[in-house]
């Protein structure tokens, strides 16, 4: 009888770890729905850390010269599905708790055609990072995009400060009519995110 209590005592921690990890796996799949793909959903604010949401928002809002041509921001639109009319499907490949407030996972993404509903060939794997904020797990990074977006915003702010984009628009007759709109977008960007 004493052995049964010892065995149960040894197995109990295994069961206690399994349940939270299962819950966290489900949360990972929920958070994946808010990884930007062809745009940043406004409701993503509730699923991303404040820092990650701000970094992504600033990157998506940074004005570019995209009047009739592809702008510097095109890469932002294809985090998951590329240029296909497709819906991503996620699975959790691995999940690790770093500590009480940090977790990392690897997700596998397959895409399903929005037209034929067939799965495209190939699966891509991406690392994600999560942080526990006020008792909720939130997405803090996806495939290093936080650093990519910070670099992109830094580059764009450099182009605004140097006047490079306005000079380009002024040098091309086609863009002259869009200069007031670009200036307005730039003022709104500075008002929202500051000048530095």
What is the value of pTM for the model shown? 0.82
Percent of the chain at pLDDT > 90 equals 64
How far, in Å, CA of 1 to CA of 5, rounded?
Answer: 7
Residue extents of the structural domains in the chain: 2-193
Over the stretch 120-141, which tens digit does the pLDDT of each residue have? 777 889 999 999 999 999 999 9
Per-residue confidence (pLDDT) for residue 2, from 0 to 100: 59
C-alpha count within 13 angstroms, C-beta hemisphere, residue 167: 6
Q: Which CATH architecture fits 2-193?
A: Roll (3.10)
Tens-place pLDDT, residues 42-84:
999 999 999 999 999 999 999 999 876 667 788 887 777 666 6
Q: Using an 8 Å Cβ cutoff, are 158 and 64 in contact?
A: no
């Amino acid at each position: 009888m004493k052995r049964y209590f010892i065995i149960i005592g040894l197995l109990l921690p295994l069961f206690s770890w399994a349940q939270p990890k299962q819950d966290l796996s489900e949360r990972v799949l929920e958070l994946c729905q808010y990884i930007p793909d062809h745009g940043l959903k406004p409701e993503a604010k509730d699923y991303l850390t404040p820092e990650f949401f701000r970094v992504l928002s600033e990157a998506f809002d940074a004005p570019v010269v995209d009047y009739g041509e592809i702008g510097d921001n095109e890469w932002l639109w294809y985090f998951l599905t590329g240029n296909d009319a497709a819906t991503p499907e996620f699975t959790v490949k691995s999940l690790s708790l770093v500590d009480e407030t940090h977790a990392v996972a690897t997700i596998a993404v397959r895409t399903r055609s929005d037209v034929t509903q067939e799965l495209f060939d190939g699966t891509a794997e991406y690392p994600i990072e999560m942080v526990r904020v006020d008792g909720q797990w939130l997405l803090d990074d996806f495939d290093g995009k936080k650093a990519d977006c910070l670099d992109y915003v830094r580059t764009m702010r450099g182009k605004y400060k140097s006047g490079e984009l306005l000079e380009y628009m002024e040098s091309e007759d086609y863009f002259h009519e869009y200069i007031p709109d670009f200036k307005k977008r730039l003022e709104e960007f500075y008002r929202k995110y500051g000048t530095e």
